[in-house]
């Protein structure tokens, strides 16, 4: 067995307990240690004259003890003053032994490393790393930078350093242990060091000059590892696509008569883009390999009816279809739309949400299991245990960025009863720039609905400071007098939903007071689903004029008569999220408005970002510009679920690497397929199951 694949407890000094602590850092086998990189480095290679220290500097110094004293004042502490030719400094210890105290005899030479701060009597270092230098003649500084590792409770820097050192020694001793899967030609082309060398450098940087490049992430050793990691993510998705293509799926040839009937009975003609995407889906579903297709389309582009058409393909071929939405609100809306669109067919559409209990629930479960319900719409409840399908042929996942990859997998697993893998359609309105798409969606084929239904007018967006609130309120009053409806969206930076809801409650009260003739209602995420639904229904039926909401209304909700939206503190949200929110208006054929009401002062960056939103109604343009301004790390970081996590790569820092990944990945895929599994083991480890999604 490769020694690097042995558990860390095979190393000297690591028992079962320490091994468990290492495991908390994701380190199980010896090889994991090699990829556990320092977060930073300490430079103990040169001495800083004490006189040139300044507060905040971390440095290595050496000096002779002038005196050592225990200060009873405040918290009892040991103060040791040392000095060199240029100045003095105090070392401060709150924990110390009598032996330590006595060792600091006047005249003794002490070297220490720590951060200088202002203290009681000038500069001091608290609990520095120190050594008493017995033999000043032979005092030697470190020749290499000292790595500082991420820690976990119960593990010291020294414990990790020792373990890493042993792991490195193993590789030096036998260079075959750590395989470099990147071909030499590629390394030369990209000017990357070989794996072994990169790892040695990162753990024990030789040249002190490397410090800056290592710290800011531009060092080729670090770039090389980041590149390998990104490449591996790409390859794992590419492979998942290949695996998928080798599975068998039901053939959903559809029924031209039914399709024709369906399209003719729709209340609107399909757009060219919708027809094109429907064609792509139909071509896919006709084949015995499972479709894995992403439909990207801006808010309001009409993705739902495309999903309905796909469902029709399934049911008219004798299979079931399941449509999963991220919120109950949205599931219910889809349920109503589907019920209407399929009303001319003998097709039972059922709705399965977490709310559903008792007899109703068991009836629906029975109908899904015996196949008498061909179409199921629902939330996460669709893929919980106990939900079984008779012949699931298609899964649709709406607003896929709201789901984790594992939920996507779980729903598809439901199809395995029939021995075939269902076709999968995922839909998103959140456009993702091309360079990033290849890290998230390389397992999927992509269709784009790049056209809005005719007659949509662009939403007129303005950016205004919150001190013009009075004007805004007056505007609502005039708007509602024209029998139109509006949204008021409260946002808070706090993660806490409770606080968001509280803020929304207060705002609703204040607005109701300020606008006595306006029917104000409140909707937020902590309400019971039934309550939310009742309010949404009331809003749809125009029993409510102004809906005060938290960001729960972000996805999908469709009320064409509501053409005015006020968003408070828009500077706190990502641009894509704002664009989604704003997409709630502009659904009818009259003019619509969005007021972004910010809290002054606005940073330059925030001003630019809100400006992008004001100037464009195109989700793709907005996403690209946001990417330019904020960098991919930020942009991807704001999508909570479904995001890819990296060990070493940092999309903000390593954005330059993305350009090459796809092209090199494709070549790699063809030329070195055997390297993919070991790379996945190395970089994705336990999370590899996700590659199979
Ligand atoms: P999204 O892509 O944001 O999910 P929806 O599917 O909710 O968009 O559609 C938005 C609105 O546009 C809905 O009211 C829908 O009925 C309507 N719609 C969809 N397609 C068309 C079309 N081709 N012509 C007119 N209206 C359409
Ligand atoms: Mg939608």
The pLDDT of residue 621 is 84
What distance in angstroms lies between residue 220's CA and the mean position of ligand 1's atoms?
49
Phi, psi of 81 (to 5 degrees): -95, 125
Please write the tens of the pLDDT for every residue from 271-298.
Answer: 999 999 999 999 999 999 999 999 998 8
**Cα 444 to Cα 167: distance, rounded to the nearest angstrom:** 39
Contacts of 137 (CB under 8 A, 6+ apart): none
The pLDDT of residue 401 is 65
Ligand 2 ion: Cβ-proximal residues, 5 Å cutoff? 556
Domain(s) labelled CATH 2.40.50.140 in the chain stretch across 46-141
Per-position b or e across 154-168, b if 16+ CB within 10 A of its CB: ebeeebbbebbebbb
**Cα 531 to Cα 522: distance, rounded to the nearest angstrom:** 10
Beta-strand (E) ranges in 325-365?
349-352
Segments of the chain scoring below 50 in pLDDT: 637-642, 687-693
Atom 18 of ligand 1, residue of closest alpha carbon = 302
- Contact between 151 and 18 under an 8 Å Cβ cutoff? The reply is no
Atom 5 of ligand 1, residue of closest alpha carbon = 302
What distance in angstroms lies between residue 582's CA and the mean position of ligand 2's atoms?
13
Q: What is the CB < 6 Å shell around ligand 1? A: 268, 270-271, 274, 297, 299-305, 429, 453, 556, 558, 587
Written in H, E and C, the secondary structure of 259-284 is HHHHHHHCCCCCCHHHHHHHHHHHHH
Whole-number CA gyration radius for the chain: 31
Please write the tens of the pLDDT for every residue from 112-155.
Answer: 999 999 987 789 999 998 989 988 788 888 888 889 999 888 89
Closest ligand 1 atom to the C-alpha of 303? 2
Report in angstroms the alpha-carbon separations of 474 from 3, 566, 600.
74, 13, 21
- In 3D space, the residue among 427, 488, 109 whose CA is nearest the CA of residue 296 turns out to be 427
pTM, entire model: 0.72
The pLDDT of residue 496 is 65
CATH 3.40.50.12140 assigned to domain 46-141? The reply is no
The pLDDT of residue 405 is 55
At 131, is the secondary structure helix, strand, or coil? strand
- Contact between 596 and 570 under an 8 Å Cβ cutoff? The reply is yes
Two structure tokens written together for 344:
């001319």
What distance in angstroms lies between residue 131's CA and the mean position of ligand 1's atoms?
72
**Cα 279 to Cα 362: distance, rounded to the nearest angstrom:** 37
Task: Determine the topology of domain 256-449 in CATH.
Answer: Rossmann fold (3.40.50)
What distance in angstroms lies between residue 460's CA and the mean position of ligand 2's atoms?
21
**Cα 553 to Cα 539: distance, rounded to the nearest angstrom:** 12
**Cα 287 to Cα 244: distance, rounded to the nearest angstrom:** 13
What distance in angstroms lies between residue 300's CA and the mean position of ligand 1's atoms?
5
Continuous H helices in 484-542: 497-514, 529-540
Closest listed ligand to the CA of 326: 2
The pLDDT of residue 686 is 52
Three-point CA angle 649, 654, 658, nearest 5°: 100
What distance in angstroms lies between residue 313's CA and the mean position of ligand 1's atoms?
20
CA 593 remoteness from chain centre: 31
Best residue for ligand 1 mutational test, from 453, 459, 583, 620 (most atoms within 8 Å of Cβ): 453
Domain(s) labelled CATH 3.40.50.300 in the chain stretch across 256-449, 460-616
The pLDDT of residue 224 is 95
**Cα 414 to Cα 420: distance, rounded to the nearest angstrom:** 10
The dihedral sign for the CA sequence 350, 269, 423, 680: negative
Tell me how crowded residue 611 is: count the other CB atoms within 10 A of its CB.
14
Two structure tokens written together for 467:
């001190």
Closest listed ligand to the CA of 587: 1
Architecture (CATH level 2) of domain 460-616: 3-Layer(aba) Sandwich (3.40)
Report in angstroms the alpha-carbon separations of 405 from 290, 400, 401, 640, 641.
17, 9, 9, 12, 8
């Amino acid at each position: 067995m490769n020694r690097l694949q042995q558990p860390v407890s095979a190393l000297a000094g690591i028992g079962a307990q320490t091994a468990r602590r290492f495991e908390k850092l994701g380190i199980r086998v010896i090889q994991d240690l090699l990829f556990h990189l320092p977060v930073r480095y300490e430079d103990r290679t040169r001495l800083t004259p004490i006189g040139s220290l300044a507060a905040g500097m971390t440095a290595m110094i050496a000096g002779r003890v002038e005196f050592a004293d225990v200060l009873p004042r405040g918290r009892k502490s040991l103060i040791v003053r040392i000095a060199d030719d240029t100045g003095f400094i105090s070392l401060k210890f709150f924990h110390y032994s009598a032996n330590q105290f006595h060792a600091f005899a006047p005249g003794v030479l002490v070297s220490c490393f720590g951060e200088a701060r202002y203290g009681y009597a000038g500069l001091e270092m608290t609990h520095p790393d120190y050594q008493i230098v017995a033999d000043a003649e032979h005092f030697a500084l470190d020749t290499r930078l000292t790595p500082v590792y991420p820690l976990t409770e119960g593990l010291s820097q020294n414990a990790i350093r020792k373990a890493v050192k042993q792991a490195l020694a193993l590789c030096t001793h036998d260079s075959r242990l750590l395989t470099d899967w990147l071909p030499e030609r590629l390394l030369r082309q990209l000017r990357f060091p070989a794996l072994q060398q990169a790892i040695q450098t990162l753990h024990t940087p030789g040249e002190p000059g490397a410090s800056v490049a290592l710290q800011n992430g531009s060092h080729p050793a670090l770039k090389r590892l980041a590149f390998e990691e990104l490449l591996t993510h790409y390859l794992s998705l590419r492979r998942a696509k290949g695996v998928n293509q080798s599975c068998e799926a039901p053939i959903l040839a559809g029924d031209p008569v039914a399709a024709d009937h369906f399209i003719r009975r729709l209340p609107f003609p399909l757009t060219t883009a919708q027809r094109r995407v429907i064609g792509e889906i139909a071509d896919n579903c006709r084949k015995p390999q499972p479709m894995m297709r992403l439909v990207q389309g801006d808010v309001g582009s009409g993705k739902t009816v495309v999903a309905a058409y796909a469902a029709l393909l399934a049911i008219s071929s004798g299979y079931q279809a399941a449509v999963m939405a991220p919120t109950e609100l949205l599931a219910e809306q889809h349920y109503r739309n589907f019920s209407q669109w399929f009303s001319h067919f003998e097709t039972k559409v059922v709705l399965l949400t977490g709310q559903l209990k008792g007899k109703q629930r068991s009836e629906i479960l029975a109908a899904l299991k015996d196949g008498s319900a061909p179409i199921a719409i629902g939330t996460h409840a669709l893929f919980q245990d106990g939900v079984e399908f008779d012949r699931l042929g298609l899964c649709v996942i709406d607003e896929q960025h709201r789901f984790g990859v594992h939920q996507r997998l779980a729903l598809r697993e439901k199809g395995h009863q029939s021995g075939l893998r269902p076709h999968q359609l995922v839909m998103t309105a959140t456009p993702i720039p091309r360079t990033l798409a290849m890290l998230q969606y390389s397992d999927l084929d992509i269709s784009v609905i790049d056209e809005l239904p005719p007659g949509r007018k662009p939403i007129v967006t303005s950016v205004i400071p919150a001190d013009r609130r009075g004007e805004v309120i007056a505007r609502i009053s005039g708007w509602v007098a024209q029998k139109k409806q509006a949204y008021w969206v409260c946002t808070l930076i706090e993660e806490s939903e409770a606080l968001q809801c509280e803020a929304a409650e207060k705002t609703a009260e204040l607005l109701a007071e300020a606008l006595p003739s306006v029917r104000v209602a409140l909707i937020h995420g902590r309400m019971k689903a039934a309550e939310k639904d009742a309010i949404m229904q009331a809003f749809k039926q125009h029993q409510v004029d102004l809906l005060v909401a938290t960001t729960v209304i972000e996805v999908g909700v469709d009320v064409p008569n509501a053409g005015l939206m006020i968003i408070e503190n828009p500077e706190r949200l990502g641009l894509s999220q704002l664009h989604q929110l704003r997409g709630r208006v502009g659904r009818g054929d009259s003019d619509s408005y969005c007021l972004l009401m910010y809290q002054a002062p606005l940073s330059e960056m925030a001003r630019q970002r809100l400006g992008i939103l004001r100037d464009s109604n195109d989700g793709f343009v907005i996403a690209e510009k946001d990417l330019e301004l904020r960098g991919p790390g930020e942009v991807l970081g704001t999508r909570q679920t479904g995001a890819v996590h990296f060990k070493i790569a940092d999309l903000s820092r390593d954005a330059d690497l993305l350009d090459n990944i796809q092209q090199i990945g494709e070549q790699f895929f063809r030329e070195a397929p055997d390297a993919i599994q070991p790379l996945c083991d190395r970089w994705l480890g336990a999370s590899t199951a996700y590659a199979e999604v």
